[in-house]
């Protein structure tokens, strides 16, 4: 009796162990199937999203190609809305363009050295100015700057802080730069004409060295070519009400002068218009276009 009892006592833990192992194997198989399903869904969603973004970019590029050589600013609504497109399935695409060249370049590797309008701004000098600008702005460089595009800053869109930082980066003389920036800001805010001759006159009155006068006249522009495109795509959701399908943001180069490089005109391929493109996910802090819902 004792031997039989010991055998039964020995078998029970084995039965429990086998049951545990079996349940673990079943759990692993179920989890593996779930992972495979999730991977398949992720791959499908990524494929759909990639083609959706490609289509949105091509629509925007076509509009830009036909509008850029016109006075397209007059075509923008007061909130920057460029156009609204309604198409199949009850979907709607809204595109808004906002000035983006008021921000200085803060990445020496991202500055488009070929777009400088002034021969005095050599590629080396441009990258040095960009690097110094980022250092002067310090922790605010990411907030106030951009990472690509031409070095020129839109004078009428730049904040006083940006104007002072860029001027200091060019002149490397804080006192002289402050005097120059103050006069430039005053002239701009008083709605006085600011062109190349006005820039040179301000610099000459302050006895700025000739080489810096030329650099300063090329660092500002009153005809910006960089715009931030805010794109919002909506459509019917599961409950029939409109919901956001995708939000995107692009840094768009819109050539404004005949000397602009043909590689950036958009005539070769729609993607040539876009210096940067990103999908805006929940939590990015993007303000949705009014009337189209919010997170």
**Where exactly are the structural domains of the chain?**
50-100+224-279, 113-221
pLDDT tens-digit series, residues 25-38: 655 555 665 656 66
pLDDT for res 152: 92
With 70 as the cut, is the pLDDT of residue 14 above it? no
Q: Residue 90 and residue 276: Cα distance in Å, rounded?
A: 29
pLDDT at 289: 42
**Residue 288: per-residue pLDDT:** 43
Q: What is the DSSP letter of 243?
A: E
Q: What does the pLDDT look like over 48-102, one tens digit per residue?
A: 778 788 888 888 888 887 777 677 788 889 899 998 988 877 888 999 999 999 9
Each residue of 188-227: pLDDT tens digit?
A: 998 777 888 888 899 999 999 998 998 998 899 888 888 9
The rounded distance, in Å, linking the Cα atoms of 210 and 197 is 14
- Give which of 254, 247, 286 is closest to 273, Cα–Cα: 254
**DSSP 8-state code for residue 104:** P
Radius of gyration of the chain (CA): 29
Residues in the chain: 295
pLDDT at 126 over 50: yes
Partnered with residue 226 across adjacent β-strands are 253
Outline where DSSP puts E strands in 150-192: 153-154
- Phi and psi at residue 171, in whole multiples of 5°? -85, -30
Half-sphere exposure of 178 (CA within 13 A, CB side): 2
Give the per-residue pLDDT at 197: 85
| CA distance readout (Å), 200 to 104, 121, 210, 221 | 21, 15, 9, 14
**Residue 144 reports pLDDT greater than 90:** yes
pLDDT at 277 over 60: yes
Pairing of strands 226-236, 91-99: antiparallel
Q: According to the model, what pLDDT value does residue 138 have? A: 95
Predicted structure pTM score: 0.71
Predicted confidence at residue 291, as pLDDT, reads 38
User: Higher confidence at residue 41 or residue 142?
Assistant: 142
What average pLDDT is seen over the chain? 79
- pLDDT tens per residue across span 151-194: 999 999 999 999 999 999 999 999 999 999 999 999 999 877 78
Contact 139, 106 (CB under 8 A): no
């Amino acid at each position: 009796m004792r031997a039989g009892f010991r055998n039964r006592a020995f078998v029970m833990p084995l039965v429990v162990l086998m049951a545990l192992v079996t349940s673990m194997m079943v759990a692993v198989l179920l989890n593996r199937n779930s992972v495979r399903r999730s991977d398949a869904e992720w791959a499908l969603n990524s494929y759909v999203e990639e083609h959706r973004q490609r289509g949105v970019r091509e629509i925007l590029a076509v509009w830009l190609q036909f509008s850029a050589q016109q006075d397209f600013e007059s075509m923008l609504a007061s909130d920057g809305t460029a156009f609204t497109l309604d198409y199949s399935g009850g979907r709607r695409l809204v595109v808004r363009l906002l000035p983006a060249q008021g921000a200085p370049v803060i990445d020496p590797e991202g500055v488009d050295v070929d777009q400088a309008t002034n021969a005095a701004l050599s590629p080396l000098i441009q990258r040095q100015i960009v690097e110094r600008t980022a250092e002067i702005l310090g922790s605010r460089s990411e907030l106030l700057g951009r990472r690509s595009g031409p070095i020129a800053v839109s004078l009428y869109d730049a904040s006083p802080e940006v104007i002072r930082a860029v001027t200091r980066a060019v002149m490397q003389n804080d006192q002289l730069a402050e005097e120059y920036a103050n006069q430039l800001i005053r002239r701009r805010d008083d709605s006085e004409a600011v062109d190349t001759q006005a820039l040179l006159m301000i610099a000459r009155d302050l006895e700025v060295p000739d080489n810096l006068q030329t650099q300063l006249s090329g660092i500002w522009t009153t005809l910006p070519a960089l715009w931030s495109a805010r794109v919002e795509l909506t459509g019917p959701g599961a409950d029939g009400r409109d919901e956001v399908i995708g939000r995107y943001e692009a840094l768009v180069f819109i050539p404004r002068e005949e000397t602009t490089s043909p590689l950036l005109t958009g005539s070769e391929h729609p993607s040539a218009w876009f210096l940067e493109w990103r999908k805006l996910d929940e939590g990015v802090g993007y303000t949705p276009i009014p009337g189209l819902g919010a997170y």
